[in-house]
Amino acid sequence: MTIKNTIAGLPYGGAKGGIKIDPRSLSKAELERVTRNYTTAMCKKSSLGASVDVPGPDIGTGVREMTWIKDQYQTFYGHRDLNYAGVTTGKDVIHHGIRGREESTGLGVYYCTRYILNNA
């Protein structure tokens, strides 16, 4: 992510974080509780936010989990953080996500491959 963000001129580095669980072994309610508790713990340490760390979907997570994180972040900070919508990437459009998010990785691979093949 660091390289992609730099190329795009975004002021973000790169990091990975996670919870050591098998999401398939949890009910939806259990997974939501774990995700929200993780988010609260990150907020208490000031380790989450649009200008601090912006999680995105990866292995075992998706739109649903990113929306829970955004939701819990907003619950924790209330209206004190006007940038709450930017706390995660990968949300659906009705939760302040962007159109084309799901297709973007595949399109990026396509354009890079096409460029390499045409310029090799």
Active site residue 16: yes
* Cα gap 63→88, rounded to integer Å: 10
* Cα gap 53→46, rounded to integer Å: 9
Other C-beta atoms closer than 10 Å to the C-beta of 53 total: 16
Q: Which of 4, 16, 20, 45 is catalytic?
A: 16
Catalytic positions are 16
